Chain A
Protein backbone atom coordinates (compact mmCIF):
# COMPACT_ATOMS: atom_id res chain seq x y z
CA UNK A 1 0.00 0.00 0.00
CA UNK A 2 3.00 2.32 0.26
CA UNK A 3 4.97 3.98 -2.54
CA UNK A 4 3.57 6.22 -5.23
CA UNK A 5 -0.20 6.47 -5.46
CA UNK A 6 0.00 4.47 -8.70
CA UNK A 7 1.08 1.44 -6.71
CA UNK A 8 -1.89 1.59 -4.37
CA UNK A 9 -4.35 -1.31 -4.71
CA UNK A 10 -7.34 0.98 -4.79
CA UNK A 11 -5.79 3.10 -7.51
CA UNK A 12 -6.14 0.07 -9.77
CA UNK A 13 -9.79 -0.26 -8.79
CA UNK A 14 -10.31 3.42 -9.52
CA UNK A 15 -8.81 2.93 -12.99
CA UNK A 16 -11.16 0.00 -13.47
CA UNK A 17 -14.17 2.05 -12.40
CA UNK A 18 -13.22 4.84 -14.80
CA UNK A 19 -12.39 2.65 -17.78
CA UNK A 20 -15.06 -0.06 -17.69
CA UNK A 21 -18.03 2.26 -18.42
CA UNK A 22 -16.16 3.54 -21.47
CA UNK A 23 -15.69 -0.04 -22.60
CA UNK A 24 -19.40 -0.68 -22.11
CA UNK A 25 -20.42 2.54 -23.86
CA UNK A 26 -18.44 1.75 -27.03
CA UNK A 27 -20.87 -0.94 -28.31
CA UNK A 28 -23.77 1.41 -27.53
CA UNK A 29 -22.10 4.18 -29.53
CA UNK A 30 -21.41 1.84 -32.47
CA UNK A 31 -25.05 0.74 -32.37
CA UNK A 32 -26.16 4.38 -32.33
CA UNK A 33 -23.97 5.19 -35.35
CA UNK A 34 -24.72 2.06 -37.41
CA UNK A 35 -28.44 1.67 -36.78
CA UNK A 36 -31.07 3.37 -38.94
CA UNK A 37 -32.96 6.28 -37.44
CA UNK A 38 -36.60 6.62 -38.45
CA UNK A 39 -38.50 7.53 -35.32
CA UNK A 40 -42.26 7.97 -35.41
CA UNK A 41 -44.94 8.46 -32.82
CA UNK A 42 -46.23 4.89 -32.70
CA UNK A 43 -42.76 3.36 -32.59
CA UNK A 44 -41.75 5.42 -29.60
CA UNK A 45 -44.74 4.44 -27.50
CA UNK A 46 -43.91 2.08 -24.68
CA UNK A 47 -44.93 -1.52 -25.30
CA UNK A 48 -48.26 -2.58 -23.86
CA UNK A 49 -49.31 -5.74 -25.71
CA UNK A 50 -50.12 -3.87 -28.89
CA UNK A 51 -52.86 -1.63 -27.54
CA UNK A 52 -52.42 2.09 -27.03
CA UNK A 53 -50.36 3.01 -24.00
CA UNK A 54 -52.41 4.29 -21.08
CA UNK A 55 -50.79 6.81 -18.78
CA UNK A 56 -47.20 6.55 -17.61
CA UNK A 57 -45.68 3.80 -15.51
CA UNK A 58 -44.62 5.86 -12.53
CA UNK A 59 -47.44 4.85 -10.26
CA UNK A 60 -47.92 3.56 -6.73
CA UNK A 61 -46.36 0.20 -6.07
CA UNK A 62 -46.94 -2.65 -3.67
CA UNK A 63 -45.63 -1.77 -0.23
CA UNK A 64 -44.49 -5.37 0.29
CA UNK A 65 -41.40 -4.77 -1.86
CA UNK A 66 -40.44 -1.90 0.42
CA UNK A 67 -40.79 -4.02 3.56
CA UNK A 68 -38.56 -6.74 2.15
CA UNK A 69 -36.01 -4.07 1.29
CA UNK A 70 -36.14 -2.80 4.88
CA UNK A 71 -35.58 -6.27 6.32
CA UNK A 72 -32.68 -6.66 3.92
CA UNK A 73 -31.05 -3.42 5.02
CA UNK A 74 -31.09 -4.59 8.64
CA UNK A 75 -29.56 -7.95 7.75
CA UNK A 76 -27.04 -6.50 5.35
CA UNK A 77 -25.67 -3.97 7.80
CA UNK A 78 -25.48 -6.53 10.57
CA UNK A 79 -23.76 -9.06 8.33
CA UNK A 80 -21.18 -6.45 7.36
CA UNK A 81 -20.02 -6.38 10.97
CA UNK A 82 -19.43 -10.13 10.89
CA UNK A 83 -16.80 -9.91 8.14
CA UNK A 84 -14.01 -8.46 10.31
CA UNK A 85 -14.76 -11.11 12.94
CA UNK A 86 -14.50 -13.86 10.34
CA UNK A 87 -11.24 -12.48 8.92
CA UNK A 88 -9.65 -12.14 12.38
CA UNK A 89 -11.12 -15.41 13.66
CA UNK A 90 -7.75 -17.11 14.21
CA UNK A 91 -6.45 -14.46 16.62
CA UNK A 92 -9.65 -14.01 18.60
CA UNK A 93 -9.94 -15.49 22.12
CA UNK A 94 -12.89 -17.67 23.06
CA UNK A 95 -14.59 -14.70 24.72
CA UNK A 96 -14.59 -12.64 21.53
CA UNK A 97 -16.03 -15.57 19.60
CA UNK A 98 -18.75 -15.73 22.25
CA UNK A 99 -19.57 -12.09 21.56
CA UNK A 100 -19.67 -12.73 17.81
CA UNK A 101 -21.93 -15.72 18.33
CA UNK A 102 -24.22 -13.57 20.46
CA UNK A 103 -24.35 -11.15 17.57
CA UNK A 104 -25.38 -13.95 15.21
CA UNK A 105 -28.10 -14.91 17.71
CA UNK A 106 -29.32 -11.30 17.70
CA UNK A 107 -29.55 -11.52 13.90
CA UNK A 108 -31.57 -14.72 14.26
CA UNK A 109 -33.77 -12.99 16.81
CA UNK A 110 -34.40 -10.16 14.36
CA UNK A 111 -35.46 -12.69 11.76
CA UNK A 112 -37.72 -14.47 14.25
CA UNK A 113 -39.31 -11.13 15.17
CA UNK A 114 -39.97 -10.19 11.56
CA UNK A 115 -41.35 -13.67 10.92
CA UNK A 116 -43.61 -13.52 13.99
CA UNK A 117 -44.95 -10.11 13.03
CA UNK A 118 -45.97 -11.52 9.66
CA UNK A 119 -43.68 -9.19 7.73
CA UNK A 120 -42.37 -12.08 5.66
CA UNK A 121 -45.81 -13.05 4.36
CA UNK A 122 -46.50 -12.15 0.76
CA UNK A 123 -50.04 -10.77 0.70
Chain B
Protein backbone atom coordinates (compact mmCIF):
# COMPACT_ATOMS: atom_id res chain seq x y z
CA UNK B 1 0.00 0.00 0.00
CA UNK B 2 1.43 3.33 -1.12
CA UNK B 3 0.62 6.47 0.82
CA UNK B 4 1.70 9.79 -0.61
CA UNK B 5 3.04 11.88 2.30
CA UNK B 6 1.75 15.09 0.74
CA UNK B 7 -1.74 13.65 0.38
CA UNK B 8 -1.57 12.46 3.98
CA UNK B 9 -0.62 15.98 5.07
CA UNK B 10 -3.47 17.53 3.07
CA UNK B 11 -5.92 15.00 4.54
CA UNK B 12 -4.64 15.76 8.05
CA UNK B 13 -5.07 19.50 7.48
CA UNK B 14 -8.67 19.26 6.32
CA UNK B 15 -9.60 16.70 9.00
CA UNK B 16 -10.64 13.97 6.56
CA UNK B 17 -7.70 11.84 7.66
CA UNK B 18 -9.95 9.34 9.45
CA UNK B 19 -11.92 8.37 6.37
CA UNK B 20 -8.77 8.51 4.22
CA UNK B 21 -6.75 6.11 6.34
CA UNK B 22 -9.70 3.77 6.72
CA UNK B 23 -10.09 3.66 2.98
CA UNK B 24 -6.38 3.10 2.39
CA UNK B 25 -6.13 0.18 4.80
CA UNK B 26 -9.55 -1.31 4.06
CA UNK B 27 -7.97 -4.55 2.82
CA UNK B 28 -5.54 -5.03 5.71
CA UNK B 29 -7.32 -5.91 8.97
CA UNK B 30 -4.23 -5.57 11.17
CA UNK B 31 -3.27 -2.17 9.80
CA UNK B 32 -6.90 -1.07 10.00
CA UNK B 33 -7.01 -2.11 13.63
CA UNK B 34 -3.92 -0.03 14.39
CA UNK B 35 -5.41 2.93 12.51
CA UNK B 36 -8.62 2.58 14.47
CA UNK B 37 -6.76 2.41 17.76
CA UNK B 38 -4.90 5.61 16.89
CA UNK B 39 -8.19 7.28 15.95
CA UNK B 40 -9.80 6.17 19.22
CA UNK B 41 -6.88 7.42 21.28
CA UNK B 42 -6.98 10.77 19.47
CA UNK B 43 -10.74 11.12 19.90
CA UNK B 44 -10.45 10.29 23.60
CA UNK B 45 -7.38 12.43 24.33
CA UNK B 46 -8.51 15.63 22.64
CA UNK B 47 -11.51 16.13 24.99
CA UNK B 48 -9.29 15.31 27.98
CA UNK B 49 -6.86 18.01 26.87
CA UNK B 50 -9.71 20.40 26.11
CA UNK B 51 -10.53 20.26 29.82
CA UNK B 52 -7.50 22.50 30.42
CA UNK B 53 -8.92 25.16 28.10
CA UNK B 54 -12.52 24.82 29.25
CA UNK B 55 -11.59 24.78 32.94
CA UNK B 56 -9.46 27.89 32.62
CA UNK B 57 -12.14 29.68 30.60
CA UNK B 58 -14.79 28.89 33.15
CA UNK B 59 -12.71 30.06 36.10
CA UNK B 60 -11.81 33.27 34.30
CA UNK B 61 -15.35 34.05 33.12
CA UNK B 62 -16.92 33.13 36.46
CA UNK B 63 -14.41 35.29 38.26
CA UNK B 64 -15.31 38.26 36.08
CA UNK B 65 -19.00 37.69 36.76
CA UNK B 66 -18.31 37.73 40.49
CA UNK B 67 -16.17 40.86 40.18
CA UNK B 68 -12.90 39.03 40.77
CA UNK B 69 -9.85 38.68 38.55
CA UNK B 70 -9.52 34.90 38.62
CA UNK B 71 -6.29 33.02 37.86
CA UNK B 72 -3.58 35.58 37.08
CA UNK B 73 -0.22 34.17 38.20
CA UNK B 74 0.78 30.97 36.41
CA UNK B 75 1.66 31.46 32.75
CA UNK B 76 1.59 35.21 32.34
CA UNK B 77 -0.93 37.88 33.18
CA UNK B 78 -3.97 35.78 32.37
CA UNK B 79 -3.04 32.67 34.30
CA UNK B 80 -3.30 30.50 31.20
CA UNK B 81 -1.31 27.66 32.73
CA UNK B 82 -3.26 27.60 36.00
CA UNK B 83 -5.01 24.34 35.12
CA UNK B 84 -1.71 22.71 34.16
CA UNK B 85 -0.27 23.71 37.51
CA UNK B 86 -3.36 22.33 39.24
CA UNK B 87 -3.06 18.99 37.49
CA UNK B 88 0.63 18.72 38.40
CA UNK B 89 -0.31 19.47 42.00
CA UNK B 90 -3.07 16.84 41.96
CA UNK B 91 -0.69 14.27 40.48
CA UNK B 92 1.72 14.64 43.39
CA UNK B 93 -0.84 14.42 46.20
CA UNK B 94 -1.10 11.42 48.47
CA UNK B 95 -3.67 8.83 47.54
CA UNK B 96 -5.85 8.23 50.58
CA UNK B 97 -8.33 5.40 50.33
CA UNK B 98 -10.62 5.59 53.37
CA UNK B 99 -10.71 2.66 55.77
CA UNK B 100 -13.70 0.42 55.16
CA UNK B 101 -14.17 1.64 51.58
CA UNK B 102 -15.38 -0.82 49.01
CA UNK B 103 -12.10 -0.80 47.07
CA UNK B 104 -13.42 -1.96 43.72
CA UNK B 105 -16.34 0.44 43.70
CA UNK B 106 -14.12 3.24 45.02
CA UNK B 107 -11.41 2.80 42.38
CA UNK B 108 -13.61 2.07 39.38
CA UNK B 109 -15.86 5.11 39.88
CA UNK B 110 -13.45 7.82 38.56
CA UNK B 111 -12.47 5.63 35.61
CA UNK B 112 -16.12 5.07 34.76
CA UNK B 113 -16.87 8.79 35.12
CA UNK B 114 -14.23 9.73 32.54
CA UNK B 115 -14.99 6.77 30.32
CA UNK B 116 -18.70 7.53 29.97
CA UNK B 117 -17.97 11.15 29.06
CA UNK B 118 -15.22 10.34 26.58
CA UNK B 119 -17.21 7.59 24.87
CA UNK B 120 -19.80 10.15 23.79
CA UNK B 121 -17.34 11.85 21.45
CA UNK B 122 -17.35 8.81 19.16
CA UNK B 123 -20.55 10.02 17.51
CA UNK B 124 -20.04 13.80 17.43
CA UNK B 125 -19.89 15.09 13.83
CA UNK B 126 -17.23 17.83 13.64
CA UNK B 127 -17.68 18.52 9.92
CA UNK B 128 -19.59 16.98 6.99
CA UNK B 129 -17.57 13.76 6.80
CA UNK B 130 -15.57 14.03 10.01
CA UNK B 131 -16.96 11.75 12.70
CA UNK B 132 -15.60 8.89 14.77
CA UNK B 133 -18.33 6.54 13.64
CA UNK B 134 -21.64 7.44 12.02
CA UNK B 135 -23.94 5.11 13.96
CA UNK B 136 -27.51 5.00 12.67
CA UNK B 137 -28.67 5.01 16.30
CA UNK B 138 -26.24 7.67 17.50
CA UNK B 139 -28.69 9.60 19.69
CA UNK B 140 -29.77 6.37 21.32
CA UNK B 141 -26.14 5.52 21.96
CA UNK B 142 -25.58 8.92 23.56
CA UNK B 143 -28.54 8.46 25.92
CA UNK B 144 -27.45 4.94 26.82
CA UNK B 145 -23.88 5.95 27.57
CA UNK B 146 -24.78 9.07 29.50
CA UNK B 147 -27.13 7.11 31.75
CA UNK B 148 -24.16 4.97 32.80
CA UNK B 149 -22.60 8.07 34.36
CA UNK B 150 -25.24 7.72 37.11
CA UNK B 151 -23.65 4.39 37.97
CA UNK B 152 -20.23 6.03 38.31
CA UNK B 153 -21.59 8.54 40.81
CA UNK B 154 -23.48 5.87 42.75
CA UNK B 155 -20.35 3.69 42.88
CA UNK B 156 -18.33 6.63 44.19
CA UNK B 157 -20.88 7.50 46.84
CA UNK B 158 -21.47 3.95 47.95
CA UNK B 159 -17.85 2.85 47.78
CA UNK B 160 -16.51 5.74 49.87
CA UNK B 161 -18.21 4.55 53.08
CA UNK B 162 -18.88 8.19 53.93
CA UNK B 163 -22.28 9.55 54.91
CA UNK B 164 -21.92 12.77 52.95
CA UNK B 165 -20.80 10.88 49.87
CA UNK B 166 -23.76 8.53 50.20
CA UNK B 167 -26.19 11.44 50.55
CA UNK B 168 -24.67 13.05 47.47
CA UNK B 169 -24.99 9.79 45.56
CA UNK B 170 -28.68 9.42 46.49
CA UNK B 171 -29.43 12.96 45.45
CA UNK B 172 -27.56 12.56 42.21
CA UNK B 173 -29.37 9.36 41.33
CA UNK B 174 -32.75 10.98 41.99
CA UNK B 175 -31.74 14.06 40.00
CA UNK B 176 -29.93 12.50 37.04
CA UNK B 177 -32.50 9.77 36.65
CA UNK B 178 -35.40 12.24 36.81
CA UNK B 179 -33.99 14.74 34.36
CA UNK B 180 -33.19 12.05 31.88
CA UNK B 181 -36.91 11.74 31.14
CA UNK B 182 -37.43 15.30 29.79
CA UNK B 183 -34.08 15.02 28.05
CA UNK B 184 -35.15 11.88 26.18
CA UNK B 185 -38.57 13.31 25.36
CA UNK B 186 -37.17 16.61 24.11
CA UNK B 187 -34.43 15.06 21.96
CA UNK B 188 -37.17 12.96 20.37
CA UNK B 189 -38.59 16.13 18.81
CA UNK B 190 -35.59 16.90 16.55
CA UNK B 191 -35.33 13.19 15.71
CA UNK B 192 -38.96 13.28 14.68
CA UNK B 193 -38.41 16.37 12.53
CA UNK B 194 -35.24 14.95 10.96
CA UNK B 195 -36.60 11.38 10.66
CA UNK B 196 -33.16 10.13 11.63
CA UNK B 197 -31.40 8.98 14.78
CA UNK B 198 -27.89 9.51 13.42
CA UNK B 199 -26.14 12.72 14.39
CA UNK B 200 -25.11 13.36 10.77
CA UNK B 201 -28.75 12.85 9.72
CA UNK B 202 -29.86 15.37 12.35
CA UNK B 203 -27.47 17.99 11.04
CA UNK B 204 -28.19 17.33 7.37
CA UNK B 205 -31.94 17.79 7.97
CA UNK B 206 -31.47 21.28 9.37
CA UNK B 207 -31.73 23.60 6.40
CA UNK B 208 -33.32 25.81 9.02
CA UNK B 209 -31.97 25.10 12.53
CA UNK B 210 -34.48 23.18 14.64
CA UNK B 211 -34.41 25.84 17.34
CA UNK B 212 -36.57 27.91 14.95
CA UNK B 213 -39.01 24.99 14.62
CA UNK B 214 -39.29 24.07 18.29
CA UNK B 215 -37.75 26.62 20.67
CA UNK B 216 -39.64 25.11 23.63
CA UNK B 217 -38.07 21.69 23.04
CA UNK B 218 -34.67 23.35 22.79
CA UNK B 219 -35.27 25.07 26.12
CA UNK B 220 -36.35 21.83 27.82
CA UNK B 221 -33.33 20.03 26.42
CA UNK B 222 -31.04 22.82 27.56
CA UNK B 223 -32.40 22.84 31.11
CA UNK B 224 -32.26 19.07 31.43
CA UNK B 225 -28.72 18.98 30.06
CA UNK B 226 -27.82 21.46 32.80
CA UNK B 227 -29.29 19.06 35.33
CA UNK B 228 -27.74 15.98 33.71
CA UNK B 229 -24.25 17.44 33.96
CA UNK B 230 -24.92 18.53 37.55
CA UNK B 231 -24.38 22.20 36.83
CA UNK B 232 -25.67 25.11 38.88
CA UNK B 233 -28.56 25.67 39.64
CA UNK B 234 -28.85 21.86 39.68
CA UNK B 235 -25.55 21.14 41.45
CA UNK B 236 -27.19 19.37 44.38
CA UNK B 237 -24.96 16.33 44.03
CA UNK B 238 -21.97 18.33 45.20
CA UNK B 239 -23.66 21.05 47.19
CA UNK B 240 -20.63 22.18 49.17
CA UNK B 241 -22.56 24.14 51.77
CA UNK B 242 -24.70 21.13 52.70
CA UNK B 243 -22.89 17.87 52.10
CA UNK B 244 -19.19 18.86 51.94
CA UNK B 245 -18.37 17.78 48.38
CA UNK B 246 -21.09 15.23 47.75
CA UNK B 247 -20.15 11.98 46.13
CA UNK B 248 -16.44 12.79 45.74
CA UNK B 249 -15.82 13.86 49.35
CA UNK B 250 -13.38 11.02 49.97
CA UNK B 251 -11.39 11.36 46.75
CA UNK B 252 -7.96 12.96 46.70
CA UNK B 253 -5.53 14.15 44.05
CA UNK B 254 -6.02 12.96 40.53
CA UNK B 255 -8.76 10.57 41.62
CA UNK B 256 -10.85 13.64 42.30
CA UNK B 257 -9.42 15.33 39.22
CA UNK B 258 -10.86 12.62 37.02
CA UNK B 259 -14.38 13.35 38.29
CA UNK B 260 -13.83 17.00 37.46
CA UNK B 261 -12.47 16.13 34.02
CA UNK B 262 -15.41 13.81 33.39
CA UNK B 263 -17.82 16.57 34.33
CA UNK B 264 -16.19 19.10 32.01
CA UNK B 265 -16.04 16.61 29.14
CA UNK B 266 -19.74 15.83 29.62
CA UNK B 267 -20.52 19.56 29.61
CA UNK B 268 -18.51 20.05 26.42
CA UNK B 269 -20.38 17.21 24.80
CA UNK B 270 -23.78 18.45 25.94
CA UNK B 271 -23.04 21.89 24.47
CA UNK B 272 -21.94 20.24 21.23
CA UNK B 273 -25.01 17.99 21.20
CA UNK B 274 -27.30 20.96 21.71
CA UNK B 275 -25.59 22.68 18.78
CA UNK B 276 -25.92 19.52 16.70
CA UNK B 277 -29.57 18.86 17.47
CA UNK B 278 -30.94 22.40 17.53
CA UNK B 279 -28.46 24.89 16.06
CA UNK B 280 -27.49 23.10 12.86
CA UNK B 281 -24.22 21.60 14.14
CA UNK B 282 -21.37 22.18 11.71
CA UNK B 283 -23.57 23.92 9.14
CA UNK B 284 -22.79 27.53 8.41
CA UNK B 285 -24.75 28.98 5.45
CA UNK B 286 -23.44 26.34 3.05
CA UNK B 287 -19.82 27.37 3.61
CA UNK B 288 -19.16 23.92 5.12
CA UNK B 289 -19.32 22.43 1.59
CA UNK B 290 -16.45 24.56 0.18
CA UNK B 291 -13.57 22.74 -1.52
CA UNK B 292 -10.36 23.87 -3.17
CA UNK B 293 -7.27 22.14 -4.50
CA UNK B 294 -3.86 22.11 -2.88
CA UNK B 295 -0.90 20.54 -4.72
CA UNK B 296 -3.16 18.50 -6.94
CA UNK B 297 -5.27 17.11 -4.10
CA UNK B 298 -8.80 18.23 -3.21
CA UNK B 299 -8.81 20.23 -0.02
CA UNK B 300 -12.06 20.49 1.94
CA UNK B 301 -11.85 24.00 3.39
CA UNK B 302 -15.47 23.58 4.42
CA UNK B 303 -14.48 21.02 7.04
CA UNK B 304 -12.43 23.61 8.87
CA UNK B 305 -15.26 26.15 8.61
CA UNK B 306 -17.73 23.51 9.82
CA UNK B 307 -15.60 22.55 12.80
CA UNK B 308 -15.15 26.23 13.65
CA UNK B 309 -18.90 26.80 13.37
CA UNK B 310 -19.62 23.88 15.72
CA UNK B 311 -16.96 25.14 18.13
CA UNK B 312 -18.38 28.67 18.20
CA UNK B 313 -21.97 27.47 18.62
CA UNK B 314 -20.92 25.17 21.46
CA UNK B 315 -18.88 27.95 23.04
CA UNK B 316 -21.92 30.22 23.07
CA UNK B 317 -23.97 27.52 24.80
CA UNK B 318 -21.13 26.94 27.25
CA UNK B 319 -21.10 30.66 27.99
CA UNK B 320 -24.78 30.41 28.94
CA UNK B 321 -23.88 27.47 31.21
CA UNK B 322 -21.30 29.65 32.97
CA UNK B 323 -23.64 32.62 33.04
CA UNK B 324 -26.33 30.60 34.83
CA UNK B 325 -23.75 29.28 37.28
CA UNK B 326 -22.72 32.83 38.07
CA UNK B 327 -26.29 34.03 38.46
CA UNK B 328 -28.67 31.47 39.93
CA UNK B 329 -28.83 30.09 43.47
CA UNK B 330 -29.18 26.35 44.06
CA UNK B 331 -32.52 24.49 44.08
CA UNK B 332 -33.80 22.53 47.06
CA UNK B 333 -34.25 18.84 46.32
CA UNK B 334 -38.06 18.87 46.53
CA UNK B 335 -38.20 21.92 44.26
CA UNK B 336 -35.83 20.21 41.88
CA UNK B 337 -37.90 17.05 41.61
CA UNK B 338 -41.21 18.93 41.47
CA UNK B 339 -39.87 21.16 38.72
CA UNK B 340 -38.96 18.07 36.75
CA UNK B 341 -41.95 15.80 37.26
CA UNK B 342 -44.69 18.42 37.45
CA UNK B 343 -43.41 20.88 34.88
CA UNK B 344 -40.72 19.60 32.52
CA UNK B 345 -42.10 16.11 31.91
CA UNK B 346 -45.74 17.14 31.25
CA UNK B 347 -44.57 20.01 29.06
CA UNK B 348 -42.29 17.80 27.00
CA UNK B 349 -45.08 15.22 26.63
CA UNK B 350 -47.46 17.90 25.34
CA UNK B 351 -44.78 19.13 22.99
CA UNK B 352 -43.98 15.68 21.67
CA UNK B 353 -47.69 15.02 21.17
CA UNK B 354 -48.17 18.27 19.25
CA UNK B 355 -45.16 17.80 17.00
CA UNK B 356 -46.03 14.16 16.28
CA UNK B 357 -49.56 15.08 15.19
CA UNK B 358 -48.78 18.37 13.50
CA UNK B 359 -45.85 17.30 11.36
CA UNK B 360 -47.87 14.50 9.79
CA UNK B 361 -50.89 16.72 9.22
CA UNK B 362 -48.73 19.37 7.59
CA UNK B 363 -47.58 16.84 4.99
CA UNK B 364 -51.11 15.50 4.51
CA UNK B 365 -52.63 18.95 3.99
CA UNK B 366 -49.72 20.67 2.20
CA UNK B 367 -47.68 17.99 0.42
CA UNK B 368 -45.33 20.52 -1.23
CA UNK B 369 -44.73 22.77 1.77
CA UNK B 370 -41.35 24.50 1.96
CA UNK B 371 -39.08 24.22 4.99
CA UNK B 372 -39.89 27.80 5.91
CA UNK B 373 -43.65 27.19 6.00
CA UNK B 374 -43.18 24.03 8.04
CA UNK B 375 -40.96 25.91 10.48
CA UNK B 376 -43.54 28.68 10.76
CA UNK B 377 -46.39 26.28 11.64
CA UNK B 378 -44.27 24.50 14.27
CA UNK B 379 -43.12 27.82 15.66
CA UNK B 380 -46.71 29.03 15.98
CA UNK B 381 -47.74 25.85 17.81
CA UNK B 382 -44.75 26.26 20.11
CA UNK B 383 -45.74 29.82 20.91
CA UNK B 384 -49.26 28.67 21.75
CA UNK B 385 -47.92 25.96 24.06
CA UNK B 386 -45.57 28.43 25.74
CA UNK B 387 -48.36 30.98 26.22
CA UNK B 388 -50.73 28.35 27.64
CA UNK B 389 -48.02 27.07 29.99
CA UNK B 390 -47.27 30.54 31.29
CA UNK B 391 -50.99 31.24 31.82
CA UNK B 392 -51.50 27.97 33.74
CA UNK B 393 -48.44 28.66 35.88
CA UNK B 394 -49.61 32.21 36.58
CA UNK B 395 -53.01 31.02 37.83
CA UNK B 396 -51.45 28.27 39.91
CA UNK B 397 -49.01 30.64 41.57
CA UNK B 398 -51.79 33.14 42.24
CA UNK B 399 -53.87 30.42 43.90
CA UNK B 400 -50.93 29.29 46.00
CA UNK B 401 -50.22 32.84 47.07
CA UNK B 402 -53.83 33.38 48.15
CA UNK B 403 -53.82 30.15 50.11
CA UNK B 404 -50.57 31.05 51.83
CA UNK B 405 -51.30 34.63 52.84
CA UNK B 406 -55.08 35.18 53.10
CA UNK B 407 -54.63 37.78 55.79
CA UNK B 408 -52.08 39.78 53.86
CA UNK B 409 -54.15 39.79 50.68
CA UNK B 410 -57.33 40.79 52.55
CA UNK B 411 -55.52 43.60 54.26
CA UNK B 412 -53.79 44.90 51.18
CA UNK B 413 -56.76 44.86 48.80
CA UNK B 414 -59.05 47.52 50.40
CA UNK B 415 -56.09 49.82 50.79
CA UNK B 416 -55.34 49.59 47.11
CA UNK B 417 -58.96 50.28 46.21
CA UNK B 418 -58.97 53.18 48.59
CA UNK B 419 -55.91 54.63 46.96
CA UNK B 420 -57.46 54.21 43.54
CA UNK B 421 -60.64 56.03 44.53
CA UNK B 422 -58.74 59.20 45.30
Contacts and interface: CB of A to CB of B under 8 A. Distances in A.
A24 B197 contact: no
A16 B40 contact: yes
A115 B342 contact: yes
Q: Point out which of A48, A49, A86 has the most chain B C-beta atoms below 10 A from its C-beta.
A: A86
Interface residues of A, number: 73
B341 interface: yes
A19 B197 contact: no
B177 A69 contact: yes
Contacts of A86: 188, 191-192, 195, 197
Interface in A82-120: 82-83, 86-90, 92, 94, 97, 100-101, 104-105, 107-108, 111, 114-115, 120
Contacts of B99: 41, 44-46
Contact of A46 (B37, B98, B197, B345): B98
A52 interface: no
B285 to A, nearest CB: 26
B257 A27 contact: yes
A94 B92 CA distance: 63
A24 B40 contact: no
Interface size class of B (residues with CB under 8 A): 35 or more
Interface in B162-191: 162-166, 170, 173-174, 177-178, 180-181, 184-185, 188, 191
17 contacts: A17-B119, A19-B40, A23-B45, A24-B110, A27-B257, A28-B254, A31-B253, A34-B92, A37-B94, A44-B98, A45-B99, A46-B161, A48-B162, A97-B360, A104-B349, A111-B341, A122-B338
The 8 closest A-B pairs by CB, nearest first: A122-B334, A31-B254, A24-B114, A46-B162, A90-B195, A44-B99, A86-B191, A86-B192
Interface of B: 22, 26, 29, 32-33, 36-37, 39-41, 43-45, 48, 90-101, 107, 110-115, 118-119, 122, 132-135, 137, 139-141, 147, 158, 160-166, 170, 173-174, 177-178, 180-181, 184-185, 188, 191-192, 195-197, 244, 249-250, 253-255, 257-258, 333-334, 337-338, 341-342, 345-346, 349, 352-353, 356-357, 359-360, 364
